[in-house]
Amino acid sequence: MTRTSPEPKLQRPPAERRYADELAKLTADDTAPRPPGWAMSLQAARTFIVGDDKLGIARKFVGDPSLIDRALVTLATNRGLMLVGDPGTAKSLLSELIAAAVSGDSTLTIQGGAATTEDQIAYSWNYSLLVSEGPTRRALVPAPLHQGMAEGRVVRFEEITRCPLEVQDSLLSPLSDRVLAVPELEGSDGMVFAREGFNIIATANTRDRGVNEMSAALKRRFNFETVFPIGDFDTELALVEAEAAAALERSGVPVPPSRDVLEVLVHVFRDLRSADGSGDRMQSVMSTAEAVSVAHAVGIKAWYLRGGEAAAGDIVDCMAGAAAKDNAEDLARLRRYLEQRAPKRKGRHWQDLHQARNLLPG
């Protein structure tokens, strides 16, 4: 006798599963014309990402709506979409959401890295079949690009600039001629022509090698969109609060982080991120995501070690490891900030922060 066990809980289901209800609702109500091969219209895709309170669609990306407009329109043209920006600015999340909206599927993902090869991008072979049958369609193991082109779906290429240049350039002909050659196969299988709906969303990190080293030929086939840190304090605070609360709940902490402490934290991150040209700009990444992880750590420390009360001083402790990483200069910058800027702000938590400067290592 078998018993069907409930479906195991996934750590992080893909966007199209997380937001399946919203996608279904938007598709059902969608009357606007759809670009060929798209799962929904541009308008519906935009609503899915920027949200709409009246329709009960949550806002999933905090940033300029015009960025979404440009990104979606780009995907409907024959150029790829390149999302660039500092780490932690939600580029990957954005690319996942767009892919989920446009193709109904965000899983055709290539993770770029120093060891990425064309095999992982286009196709490889099942070697036992290859040996027994020779190069046949059956022996071919399609990788995301092959699949995306054959099925007319959006392919995501994460951290494209971390790949070797010659690997990056393998995207040239799929992007410009919309065709992928499989020279080992004969006949019609030897050429995979992209079906409507295929396009590429690449993400690149400005702190890595950057996009400057990309070949001009490839650059020309992408439209670039820079994703910026959140411009507005209140929005960022709200986001950090929500994300940190969710993360804390997952870690078994029932109380949300204290708002006062979070305010101080977000202020510190924003100051250190911009540092108005005084040379105090941190080398390390001061992203919202990093702020969330510091807030998470502060919350855990408060709950398990202090009996619930979060203190601004804990921020320093957690930041020293999380944000300043192992960069001695950043540590000095942080120290200078705590010594000189923190005491000028009013409020108990800022004074705590100032007092806590001695907790910095070194």
Partner 1 sequence: MPDDLHVIGVRHHSPACARLVADTVDRLRPAHVLIEGPADFNDRLGELALAHTPPIAIYSYMAAGGAARRSWSPLCDYSPEWLALTKGRETGAAVKFIDLPAWHDAFAEVENRYSDAERRYADATERLCREFAVDNTDALWDHLVEIADPEGLAERLDRYFDLVRGEAEATEPDSARERHMAEWIRAALAEDDGPVLVVCGGFHAPALRRLAEAGGPRAWPEVPGPPPDAVVGSFLVPYSFKRLDAFAGYQSGMPSPEYYQRLWDDGAETAAGALVELIATRLRGKHQIVSTADLIGARGLTEGLARLRGHDRPGRTDLLDGLASALISDDLEQPLPWTRRGTLTAGTHPVVVEMTAALTGSRTGRLHPDTPAPPLVADVEGALERLGLGGTRRLRLDLTDARDLERSRALHCLRLLELPGFTRQDGPSAGSDVTAEEHWDLRDGDGRLPAVIEAGVYGATLGDAAQTVLEHRIDRAGGDLDALSGVLFGAALCGRAHLTDRLGRAVADGVADCGDLAAVGAALTVALALWRHDHLFGTAGSELYATVITACAERAMWLAEGLRAGPGPADLGRLKTLAAVRDAVRHAPSLTPPAASVAATARRIAGDGAAPPDLRGGAAGLAWSLGASLDAAGAAAGVSEPDRLGDWLAGLFRVAREEVLAEAAEHGVVHAVDEIVGDMTEQEFLVALPALRQAFAFFPPRERAQIAEQLVALRGGGESAHSMLDRHDADPLTVAAAHALEARVDEVLTREHLTAATEEQR
Of positions 13, 56, 210, 321, contacts partner 1 by CB under 8 A: 210
Find the part of the chain contacting partner 1 (CB under 8 A) among 116-124, 163-171, 225-233, 339-347. 225-233
Stretch that binds partner 1, among 48-56, 195-203, 310-318, 325-333 (CB under 8 A): 48-56
The label of the residue with tokens 């709409």 reads: 52
Among 20, 76, 130, 255, binds partner 1 (CB under 8 A): 76
Residue 202 contacts partner 1 per CB under 8 A: no
Q: How far is CA 95 from CA 226, 264, 282, in A?
A: 13, 31, 27
- Who's near 31: CB < 8 A, 6+ residues apart? 41
Rule CB under 8 A: say whether 281 interacts with partner 1: no
User: Can you name the residues that pair with 193 across neighbouring β-strands?
Assistant: 179
In the set 136, 206, 327, 355, which binds partner 1 (CB under 8 A)? 206
Residue 185 contacts residue 227 (beta carbons within 8 Å): no
Candidates 65, 190, 308, 321: give the one binding partner 1 (CB under 8 A).
Answer: 65
Taking the complex as a whole, how short is the minimal distance between the CB of residue 48 and partner 1, in angstroms? 11
Selected from 16, 74, 342, 350, the binder of partner 1 by CB under 8 A is 74
Residue 96 lies near partner 1 (rule: CB under 8 A): no
Among 157, 222, 269, 303, binds partner 1 (CB under 8 A): 222
Q: What does the block give as tokens for 272?
A: 């250190």
**Residue 231 touching partner 1 (CB under 8 A):** yes
Measured from the Cβ of residue 88, the count of other Cβ atoms closer than 10 Å reads 19
Output 2 or 212, the one with its CB closest to partner 1: 212
Q: Does 67 bind partner 1 (CB under 8 A)?
A: yes
48, 190 contact by CB (below 8 A): no
User: What string marks each residue from 18 to 47 as x (binds partner 1 by CB under 8 A) or -?
Assistant: ------------------------xx--xx
**Number of Cβ within a 10 Å radius of residue 303:** 19
* 55 counts as binding partner 1 under rule CB under 8 A: no
CA angle 341, 281, 358 (to 5 degrees): 45
Per-residue burial over 331-361, b = 16 or more CB atoms within 10 Å of its CB, e = otherwise: bebbbebbeebbeeeeeebbebbbbbbeebe
Q: CB of residue 362 vs partner 1: minimum separation in angstroms?
A: 25
Q: Measured from the CB of residue 82, what is the shortest distance to partner 1 in angstroms?
A: 8
Total number of residues that touch partner 1 (CB under 8 A) = 38
Letter for the amino acid at 347? G
Do 95 and 205 touch, CB atoms closer than 8 A? no
27, 109, 126, 223: which one binds partner 1 (CB under 8 A): 223
Q: How far is the CB of 81 from partner 1 (least distance, A)?
A: 9
Binding range to partner 1, per CB under 8 A, among 78-86, 115-123, 134-142, 265-273 = 78-86
* Nearest residue (CB) to partner 1, 77 versus 358: 77
- Assign 196 to helix, strand or coil: coil
Hey, how many other C-beta atoms are within 10 angstroms of the C-beta on 68?
Answer: 23
Task: Report CA dihedral (347, 348, 349, 355) to the nearest 10 degrees.
Answer: 120
The reply on whether position 318 binds partner 1 by CB under 8 A is no
Contacts of 225 (CB under 8 A, 6+ apart): 67, 70, 71, 74, 81, 82, 83, 84
Q: Which helix (H) or strand (E) holds 336?
A: helix 328-336
Choice from 127, 228, 233, 304 touching partner 1 (CB under 8 A): 228
Pick the closer one to partner 1 by CB: 46 or 354.
46
Give me the residues that bind partner 1 (CB under 8 A), please.
42-43, 46-47, 50, 52-53, 64-70, 72-74, 76-77, 79, 84-85, 204, 206, 210-212, 216, 219-220, 222-226, 228, 231, 277
